[in-house]
Structure 1
Amino acid sequence: NWSVSGDPTEGALLTLAAKANYWREVLERGEPRVGEFPFDSVRKRMTVITEHNQKLYAYTKGAPDIVLGLCSEIMSGGKVSPLTEEMRQELLRVNEAMAAKALRVIALAYKPVNKREQANQEEYVEKDLVFLGLVGMIDPPRPAAVKAIRVCREAGIRPVMITGDHQVTAEAIARDMGFPLEGKGILTGTELDQMTDEELVAQVEDISVYARVSPNHKLRIVKAWKKRGHVVAMTGDGVNDAPAVKEADIGIAMGKTGTDVTKEASSMILADDDFATIVAAVEEGRGIYDNIRKFIRYLLSCNIGEVLTMFLAALVGVPLPLLPIQILWVNLVTDGLPAMALGVDHSDPDIMKRKPRHPKESVFSGGLAGKILGRGIQIGLGTLLVFMLAYYLSDGNLVLSRTMAFTTLVFSQLFHVFECRSERHSPWELGFFGNRYLVIAVSLSVIMQLAVIYLPALQPIFKTAALNGLHWLIILAVSGGRTMLTGLYYLLFATAKKAGKPAYQ
């Protein structure tokens, strides 16, 4: 099995030659390379000079329109003849037809170098070439990349394709990958040169594909997007891509084909050179940020509930509902385990259908502060209500009242942790068993809470008393009432949705 190592275009040309039984290693032994004019994005061509039987030959490959402009003759049927204007136009039409099939087209030419002393002069060597032919190669879009483009658009991320390929080739590839090309959807480097920076800024949001561009064009494009107030990510691999990669808010260098200069200029290196990996990283990042918000929401609302319970009890002049050891138990066991499990929770199923958040957005944005405060007040009032109800119904049995308040606080937090799994979906939509770590954490918390209530050895330590069925009914109604009501609403809504009727009818 053969595999290409290095530049895929060079690998495709070597493969083509090998199929015709021309092997690079064999050719270089009989016709060694003695000079080279390397490729760059401005020249759009490269030339090597070899020596055979004490004679020098130049071989050039590059963009068809560029190479054809350097040719004065053509080889056909083994004979060299003048290259007429009609032939030139016909070759350009063939190039357009190949490019329309999403082929990357390269022109090949050669020339005997008669003046050895001028072999190092680019202007002499790359002039009056003999045209040999056109080579078409295809680099079909990976299915994962096509899907990634679609996911990007759904996520509010605008992908833009910037390539040095011919405009027709770029347009064909862009259509295959799902880029919108309505209106002025594609712009060439030549057209870009004729635009001022102000004109580019005004039109940049309408352009999805740039063809035949140079590294300087890439830098202008990045600056134009930033002037429109967007957060810009830019990928690059060559040395000349480094300025654009550095200018972008998020510079991404290719791990396999990227140069050291570009990697140094970047803020992230893409190890597998796959665009789909960038989209996966965006999804992972959104999930991590969501989990941070879940963690904050859960801990702060629970702590507000605990503080309010003690504060309001002091205000109304009733005995303290909780003892220090009970508060410590809640903070160490009931708060800690579920909160850590939230940190590894799964992302929402529609996380990549949201618009990007502003980079300066507060972590409490989107109504999170109100949710924290509201749920904290509810937990605090519910705990105090159960304490006062138990205290007066039990004729001042302080141990029983504190046990019920203690348990209400714990179970309010355990019910609430499932609500914290998403800010947009109820736990009934997501399911209660989607996060096995959370299920384990909640189960352990329940078992340990039951242990401090019912085990005789622990009751004196935590100052608790055994609870009966009526006590549990009150505790679960107060602590889990909200969750049960949302479950009932979801059940009615889901049933109505299946029947095609509004849920409120």
Structure 2
Amino acid sequence: MPGHTLFSLSTEQAVLQLRANAEQGLSTVEAVERQKQSGFNQLTEAAPEPAWKRLFRQFQDLVIWILIAAAVISGLLGEWVDTLAILAIVVLNGVIGFLQEQHAELAMSALKKLSAPTAKALRDGVLQSLPARELVPGDIIEIEAGDNVPADVRLLKAFSVSVQEATLTGESTSVEKEADVVLPAETQLGDRRNMVHMGTILTTGKASGMVAAIGMETELGQIAGMLARHELELTPLQKRLAKLGQVLIGVCLAIVALIFALQVMRGGSLLEALLVSVSLAVAAVPEGLPAVVTITLALGLQRMVKRKALVRKLPSVETLGSVSVICSDKTGTLTRNEMTVKAIVTSSKSYQVTGGGYAPRGDFYQTSDSTLVDDEALPKVARTVNPETDLDLRLALKIGAWCNGAQVAPQSDGDGVWQVIGDPTEGALVVAAMKGGLSPSARSGEITYELPFDSNRKIMSVVVREPGGTSLYTKGAPESVLARCDRIHRWGVAEPLSEDDRRRVLASSISLSSQALRVLGVAYGPDPREPGSTDLERELVFCGLVGMIDPPREEVKTAIATCRSAGIRPVMITGDHPATALAIAKQLGLTTGPEHLLAGQELAQMTDADLAGVIHDISVYARTTAEHKLRIVRAWKSRGDVVAMTGDGVNDAPAVRAADIGIAMGITGTDVTKEASDMVLLDDNFASIVSAVEEGRGIYDNIQKALVFLLSCNCGEILLMLGASLLGWPAPLLPIQLLWINLVTDGLPALALSFEPPEPGVMNHPPRQANESILSRKLGIAILFQGLLVGLVGLLAFGLSLRHRPDDVDRARAMAFCVLVYAELFRALGARSQTLTLRQLGFWKNPHLLLAILVSGLLQVSVAIVPFTGRVFDVPPHTWSEWGTIILLALTPLIVVELVKELRQVIHVDHVITPDGVTS
């Protein structure tokens, strides 16, 4: 294929061979045509497991086979009605399990599609973000440090690029790449320095290139058997529940064996005792619990997506409920990430820029100092400036425009809204330059070399060849840029940089930062003699400061307050100036003063023990590096806290990976950070983290609710059968009745509890302990208590009917049968919460549960009143007085449970949660 040999061609020849356009990219029409020919850029997955195999798997449990054997024995003895009914229920139960599993897989598949990677491609002359699967050969794309390479790509430009190719070549160290080399046709994969391949990761630098091959035509795609069928990942919770199920099976079988022995000793039929015991064993084991848990997780994850949080790893759902600390970046997470340049300070003057957002409309005003004035008041107190005639201002805007990888363009819907493709900070610089008449698309010259931003250097530079010569342009943190300067640009001339100049620049930087502006310094240098040198950024000329505003998100202040009421400690970690960080933190209610702030320079001088000792007192960290973030996470974890950590850049990946919940930014985050994360914020918003924690708590609560409901139902059936055996009574339920109860009560109602929204007040109690058992002592007592209630009303119904009609055992069984079913269905309403009453929750808040109860209830009514089903289940017609008794007894467990909740609320003493998460 041509794509596999482009490394042996020059960049110009490669572009011609694929009929591409390096400046404009492909047109949308051409891209569609090529996609028809080449297909989508995706790897072929193995065929999914056939449906018949998944259906057959529902009948592989030992107890099911025992039940089928018992049904066959019944048939051989002439009990054909029982045989057919039991087999029908077994098949129906298997079909329901199959549908539940199918629903869970579809839900998880939908979530997987949401996390599909994206790529930045040049289409119709505009850089666009589009799904990586839509790339076609000939597309021009841009990639930078932290990105996964989305296809096999022939590099056209590369600046300090190195790539991790271990997935293809096994080489553990990164490989340097360059675009301009032409290699022999026989060059092996690991030596193709002008190519990057699908599945590899850009570890440093920035590049543009042309897609050479996609999908199965890539080098990765041609590795045989590289992608096996994805198996659904079991969470630690699901594994613990599986072990719990094994214990319950053992306990249930022991009780069932006891009941079998008691029934035989009472003189009952051996076959009847066997059928009853086997049916009770089937009913007692909560075989539907794994499906309920999986669906609860899947539905919860879908609810999280609606709240802009995509969980990539299922175990994270459990961990979310235990989060006690959230360490968050500032820009874009706590703030709106809508950067707008508001102030520019040069050596000679101060300016303020009007206009907001990314629309390139606004004016420049000269002000007396760096103090901001409302845009409306500016014309009264300042005069306008023409950037085209002000040399110092024009140079500052020009440097910002060149040190840039972002593009600004109006949205395609034509509503006048402009958007940024790329980093919002760089987008703000582009917009400011466009306001000053410096459109990047109209500039003359080209970038010949680039030193990308580095979190340790805190600056980035480009070497630009222009008609008037070649220059180095630099932007970054003011103190970092200033440290590399020995001159200052004043009135269009480079002069020596004095100590007074340095003090004035730093004072202006602090002044702007204290007004919640993010501040960058800009500088330039002479034509570098050795463009490949790593020591270019020295002896520079300082040109000025650029201050941009990124206002706090309005919803974040409420989210932080919610964190405090939930016993969660919010912490800001940013690379911005301490004054900027402190100003934003105060606005958000994160802190009240500088005593809660720690700068990266101070942190670097601390030992890990010192940091762990003071970390509880610090709410804001400024001027931090990737290493600082990692140390902060480890310090919190050393205290036993469960830590969530946000990140976007490749340097954040170690801290994100080290956290209990690593959170990547969905908009600005690099692929490497996303791969290292457990969760991706689709809107880069701190409030979405808090929403995810709330949903995580709700998911865990719903699993516990389903567990309590299922086990107490099963417990009630066992206690009913055991109580009757101990009293010497006949078996109060027939095998087919036991199986039917298991079908109508353990199926739809338990599943409907998955749809229960998080309880009111779920964020008003401290985080759950990470090592807390899913079946706590408190829940165990609730299961026994509610199971006892259900068993007692069933036993009471059976006993009252026998007392009234001693010779009519079938009627007594029918009474116990109906009371048990309705009691468990009514009790599902109370299972919505262990603490809140139905009145407090709102009767209509979970319509899925009401529908499930209605459907199951109507099925039970049909069993009781339809003549044919009545004969199958041995249920004679009830009188009106019997129906009254059934309803009254069936409501009793729900009423008692609700009254107990009311009583507990009356005598309960509320715990007060302090901002630090301490209860008192």
Length-normalised TM-score, structure 1: 0.90
Match of 2:514 among 97, 100, 114: 100
User: Is the contact between residue 524 and residue 541 of structure 2 (CA under 8 Å) also seen in structure 1?
Assistant: yes
Alignment-derived partner of residue 659 in structure 2: 248
The alpha carbon displacement at 1:419 in A equals 1.0
Query: Judging changes above 3 Å, is the alpha-carbon distance between structure 1 residues 34 and 452 closer, same or farther for their aligned structure 2 residues?
Result: closer
Alignment-derived partner of residue 469 in structure 2: 55
The alpha carbon displacement at 1:177 in A equals 2.2
Q: How does 1:77-476 map to 2 (within 5 A)?
A: 77-113=491-527, 117=529, 121=533, 123=535, 125-127=537-539, 129-181=540-592, 184-365=595-776, 367-476=778-887
Match of 1:21 among 437, 441, 459: 437
Does residue 32 (structure 1) correspond to residue 446 (structure 2)? The answer is yes
The whole-number CA distance in structure 2 between the counterparts of 1:124 and 1:476 is 86
Bigger CA drift: 58-67 or 98-107? Answer: 58-67
Query: Judging changes above 3 Å, is the alpha-carbon distance between structure 1 residues 246 and 5 closer, same or farther for their aligned structure 2 residues?
Result: same
The alpha carbon displacement at 1:131 in A equals 2.4
SS at match of 2:667: coil
- Cα distance per residue 1:220-242 (max 9 Å; x no partner): 11111111111222222222212
Query: Judging changes above 3 Å, is the alpha-carbon distance between structure 1 residues 23 and 399 closer, same or farther for their aligned structure 2 residues?
Result: same
Query: Judging changes above 3 Å, is the alpha-carbon distance between structure 1 residues 54 and 443 closer, same or farther for their aligned structure 2 residues?
Result: closer
The whole-number CA distance in structure 2 between the counterparts of 1:392 and 1:35 is 96
Length-normalised TM-score, structure 2: 0.51
The one-letter code matched in structure 1 to 2:460 is: M
The alpha carbon displacement at 1:328 in A equals 1.7
SS at match of 1:352: coil
The alpha carbon displacement at 1:15 in A equals 0.9
Query: Judging changes above 3 Å, is the alpha-carbon distance between structure 1 residues 490 and 42 closer, same or farther for their aligned structure 2 residues?
Result: closer
Alignment-derived partner of residue 265 in structure 2: none
Does residue 10 (structure 1) correspond to residue 426 (structure 2)? The answer is yes
User: Is the contact between residue 652 and residue 673 of structure 2 (CA under 8 Å) also seen in structure 1?
Assistant: yes
The one-letter code matched in structure 2 to 1:68 is: L
Query: Judging changes above 3 Å, is the alpha-carbon distance between structure 1 residues 82 and 249 closer, same or farther for their aligned structure 2 residues?
Result: same
The alpha carbon displacement at 1:182 in A equals 5.3
The alpha carbon displacement at 1:304 in A equals 0.9
The one-letter code matched in structure 2 to 1:352 is: M
Percent identity, aligned pairs only, is 48
Query: Judging changes above 3 Å, is the alpha-carbon distance between structure 1 residues 244 and 488 closer, same or farther for their aligned structure 2 residues?
Result: closer
How many residues were matched structurally? 490
The alpha carbon displacement at 1:185 in A equals 1.4
User: Is the contact between residue 626 and residue 651 of structure 2 (CA under 8 Å) also seen in structure 1?
Assistant: yes
Query: Judging changes above 3 Å, is the alpha-carbon distance between structure 1 residues 37 and 452 closer, same or farther for their aligned structure 2 residues?
Result: closer
SS at match of 2:516: coil
Whose relative contact order is higher, 1 or 2, with alpha carbons under 8 Å and at least 6 apart? 2
The alpha carbon displacement at 1:93 in A equals 1.9
The whole-number CA distance in structure 2 between the counterparts of 1:183 and 1:80 is 37
- Cα distance per residue 1:149-190 (max 9 Å; x no partner): 333332222222111100000111112222134573111001
The whole-number CA distance in structure 1 between the counterparts of 2:764 and 2:681 is 24
The one-letter code matched in structure 2 to 1:217 is: H
The alpha carbon displacement at 1:144 in A equals 3.3
- Cα distance per residue 1:403-435 (max 9 Å; x no partner): 221121112112211111011201122133221
The whole-number CA distance in structure 1 between the counterparts of 2:537 and 2:895 is 83
Alignment-derived partner of residue 194 in structure 2: none
The alpha carbon displacement at 1:488 in A equals 7.2
Bigger CA drift: 351-360 or 204-213? Answer: 351-360
- Cα distance per residue 1:55-92 (max 9 Å; x no partner): 33222222222223333333333344443333332222
The one-letter code matched in structure 1 to 2:728 is: G
The alpha carbon displacement at 1:370 in A equals 0.6
SS at match of 1:458: helix
RMSD: 2.5
The one-letter code matched in structure 2 to 1:26 is: A
Does residue 41 (structure 1) correspond to residue 455 (structure 2)? The answer is yes
Bigger CA drift: 32-41 or 4-13? Answer: 32-41
The whole-number CA distance in structure 2 between the counterparts of 1:102 and 1:282 is 28
- Cα distance per residue 1:214-262 (max 9 Å; x no partner): 1111111111111111122222222221221222222222233222332
Bigger CA drift: 413-422 or 270-279? Answer: 270-279
Alignment-derived partner of residue 74 in structure 2: none
Query: Judging changes above 3 Å, is the alpha-carbon distance between structure 1 residues 335 and 57 closer, same or farther for their aligned structure 2 residues?
Result: closer
The whole-number CA distance in structure 2 between the counterparts of 1:143 and 1:411 is 48
SS at match of 1:171: helix
Query: Judging changes above 3 Å, is the alpha-carbon distance between structure 1 residues 59 and 491 closer, same or farther for their aligned structure 2 residues?
Result: closer
The whole-number CA distance in structure 2 between the counterparts of 1:210 and 1:14 is 29
User: Is the contact between residue 181 and residue 208 of structure 1 (CA under 8 Å) also seen in structure 2?
Assistant: no
The whole-number CA distance in structure 1 between the counterparts of 2:671 and 2:683 is 16
Alignment-derived partner of residue 64 in structure 1: 478
The alpha carbon displacement at 1:332 in A equals 1.2
The whole-number CA distance in structure 2 between the counterparts of 1:107 and 1:410 is 73
User: Is the contact between residue 830 and residue 897 of structure 2 (CA under 8 Å) also seen in structure 1?
Assistant: no
The whole-number CA distance in structure 2 between the counterparts of 1:275 and 1:121 is 40
Q: Which runs of 5+ in 1 are unaligned?
A: 496-505
The whole-number CA distance in structure 1 between the counterparts of 2:737 and 2:799 is 17
- Cα distance per residue 1:13-65 (max 9 Å; x no partner): 111111101122332x2x33333333212222222222345633222222222
User: Is the contact between residue 428 and residue 490 of structure 1 (CA under 8 Å) also seen in structure 2?
Assistant: no
The whole-number CA distance in structure 1 between the counterparts of 2:517 and 2:496 is 28
The one-letter code matched in structure 1 to 2:446 is: P
User: Is the contact between residue 484 and residue 537 of structure 2 (CA under 8 Å) also seen in structure 1?
Assistant: no
SS at match of 1:133: strand
